Each structure stands twice: as C-alpha cells, then as structure tokens.
Amino acid sequence: MGREACIVGYHEGPLDNAGRSCREIAATVVREALADAGLSLGDVDGLLAGYAWEEPSVMFASEIADYLGTIPTYVETACFGGASPAMMIARAARAIEQSLCEVVVVAVASNRASKVGRAGAIAALRDVLSTEFEVPYGAFIPPVYALTATRYMHELGVTPEQLAAVAVTQREHASLHPGAARREPISVDDVLGSPVIASPLHLLDCCLVTDFGAAVVLTSAERARAASSPPVRVLGTGEVHDRLTTSEVGDLTRRGGMVSSARALSEAGISIEEVDFAELYDSFTITVLLTLEDIGFCRKGEAGRLAAEGAFRFDGELPLNTNGGMLSYRTGGLSHVIEAVAQLRGTPPGVRLEAPQIALVHGIGGVLSAHCTVVLGAA
C-alpha cells in the first residue's frame, strides 16, 4: 500500500428534494463538502457517484462533473445498490493510495420520495433481482428479505420481539438527532403492531424511503494535515460479491460480510474487539442482526438477544447506527459513513460517543449479495 487516505470533509443535504434534479442535488452537496474540507472544485481530480435510478444515467458521475464544470482524471459511477457508498469510499481510498488522485469526492443523490414515493421505490428496486428467475414470479425486495428472516429465525431461534428491538434502539438514537426523518419514540409493541409487509417483517422493520443527498471528500494524509477539519483515516477496506440470486445461496444465515469484514480488519491491522462502534447497512432489522454476526461482533444466534438487552444502544457495549440509520434517520448508505466520521471527529449533531477511536462501516447491495466493509480511525 502507498499513501494513506483520509476523509477531510462531508455534507448532507435536506430530506426534501422536491423539484430538484439528482444532478443539482449532487452538485450542491459536493460544493458544501469541499467547503467543509477547505478545498475548492479546482482541487478535485477524482469524482465517484452512486447510480441515481430516479433519473437513470450510466454516466452519472460524468454528468455531475460536467454540471460542476470540472475535468477530473478519475470518474466512476457505482451501481452496487446499498453497497455503493462504502465501495466508493474504498475505491476513492485506493485511488489516493496509488497516487492516481490527490482529492476525490464521493457523492450520492436522490429525489425518490418526492418523485416516485414508496410504492415506486419498491417497484424500481426489483432491478436488483434476477429478471429470469425471480421477477417473473412476483418477487420483490421485502418478500425476498423475509425469506432470509424466516430461515434465520427458524434456525437460530430469534424472535419477532428481538428483531423489533433493533428498530426501537435506532429510533431512540434518531430521536436525539435534529436531522432525523423519524424522531418520535417507538416500542417493541409498536413495531409488532405495525402492518405486516412480508411476514415476519412489519412496516417498522423496514427502512424509510426518503430523499437524500450527501458527499464525502478524501485526500492523502499528507495533504489532510492542512485541511480545515480534523481528518479521519481510512484504515482498511474489504469487498466481496456473494450470490446475487437468493435461491442459489447455500446458507441464508451466513453471507458475504464474513469475508469483506475479515479483509478490512486485516488490512487495518486491528481485531474486532478494538472497534468502538459500528454503522451498518440496515435495509431491514434482519439485515442488522445477520450482519452483526457475520462480521464477528457476536456468535451466530446471539445478536437478537443482545439487541433486546440494549447492547447496541449508544451507551451499550457496541453502539450501533448512532444516527438512527435507514430505519429512522434517512435512506442512503453514505449517511453511515458520515455519521462515523462525525463521531470520530467528536462533532456529531445527535448522540455523542465518548472519544471513539475506531469505527466499522458496512454496506450491502442487492439481497445481501454485495458487501463492503470500511474501517475508519480518528487521526
């Protein structure tokens, strides 16, 4: 490995992007993130963007660069679903480590809630399923995740109440964050009493559908010393692409997070016990429990019990999704990265942990198929 990469700036846009194009949303958050880093558009030589399926463009990153009037030497549009944000951070870090770039911006943008709504979003997400073996038979995202949840609960004895505890904890965290979409407290009974979307998953077991826009700025550790905000080090990354089609998965209780996290932790040179908090992709409550165990924070079948006991609260043994995550804060996996950076800087707007040093961020795309783990450290 060559130079170390650091995150030196970020910005999150508003929850309502009504009337704004994804290009405009992305351009705005990029400018604001650069301002947070004390840099300008002229400093940027790399730009990565997540595919915006509300306004499909296979060259979305190039469109943003064009919109901003920049001519970067490294551009990539990532299309890995919810794994895209973490994967873009990993790719940006590699570009800096290998001296391909000096300053790389990662951006995501969406007007999905204001433009297509929940029903339209769920319908569009069928694109990540097999068009030959799944979609023709009526499959769409919630029921396919529900298959995993049913098998997981059957094999490991996890209860609906334990799943619900994940949503309750994350709502508590969101209630303390001024930018969260949902801040009203909920109980386990509230979760279990909400409408069944795909048994055993209730409405409050499912992530929100919101607008979002966010950007993160990375540069080399040498250049980060002059940044206007405290840098956060990218210590290690890992990636794996598991079976895309659920019917091809040999064991639904063990997925690719086991591989990507092991690679990221090895590269960072740390053990799982050294991680102070985690920001995990949380499309559904089952996603969180499965990922916690795959990564190695606890043994198989233990995450549900720990969730019910409060282990993942901000004051528990492993603070988890401290802004409320996608279950309560907002859609968009780059928010997991930004919350981790804010905690490591010591400047989170909501829950504030006690001087954390190491964070683990995990993104997932498809139906638990694409995985990327990023380990971050305070400077």
Q: Mind listing the pLDDT tens digit for each residue in 232-249? A: 999 999 999 999 888 899
For the chain, the average pLDDT equals 95
pLDDT tens column, 158-208: 999 999 999 999 999 999 999 999 999 999 999 999 999 999 999 999 999
Mean pLDDT value across residues 284-295: 98
Q: What would the two tokens of residue 377 be?
A: 């450290």
Mean pLDDT value across residues 303-320: 98
Task: Give the whole-angstrom CA distance, residue 50 versus residue 213.
Answer: 11
CATH 3.40.1500.10 fits 5-115+210-224, yes or no: no
Cis geometry, peptide bond prior to residue 230 (ω within 30 degrees of 0):
no
107: which strand partners?
A: 49, 215
Whether residue 280 is predicted with pLDDT greater than 60 in this model: the reply is yes
Whether residue 222 is predicted with pLDDT greater than 60 in this model: the reply is yes
Cis geometry, peptide bond prior to residue 200 (ω within 30 degrees of 0):
yes
Mean pLDDT value across residues 219-232: 92
Mean pLDDT value across residues 354-365: 97
Q: What would the two tokens of residue 133 be?
A: 């073996």
Residue type, 378: A
Element of type H or E holding 83: none
Whether residue 1 is predicted with pLDDT greater than 70 in this model: the reply is no
Sheet of 103-110: strand order equals 74-78, 46-50, 103-110, 212-220, 5-12, 232-241, 370-378, 358-365, 277-280
pTM for the full predicted model: 0.96
Q: Write down the pLDDT at residue 130.
A: 83
Nearest residue to 329 (alpha-carbon basis) of 109, 107, 172, 154? 172
Torsion of CA 111, 115, 120, 126, to 10 degrees: -40
* Percent above pLDDT 90 for the chain: 86
Q: Write down the pLDDT at residue 239.
A: 98
Q: Which of 158-162, 222-226, 340-344 has the lowest mean pLDDT?
A: 222-226
Confidence of residue 137 (pLDDT cuts 50, 70, 90): confident
Please, are residues 12 and 338 in contact by the beta-carbon 8 Å criterion?
A: yes
pLDDT tens column, 31-44: 999 999 999 999 99
Mean pLDDT value across residues 63-92: 96
pLDDT tens column, 8-33: 999 999 999 999 999 999 999 999 99
The strand pair at 103-110 and 212-220 is best described as antiparallel
Whether residue 347 is predicted with pLDDT greater than 80 in this model: the reply is yes
DSSP 53: T
* Domain range annotation of the chain: 5-115+210-224
Report how far Cα 340 is from the mean position of its chain's Cα atoms.
10
Confidence of residue 303 (pLDDT cuts 50, 70, 90): very high
Whether residue 75 is predicted with pLDDT greater than 90 in this model: the reply is yes
Q: Write down the pLDDT at residue 117.
A: 77
Nearest residue to 110 (alpha-carbon basis) of 168, 29, 194, 6? 29
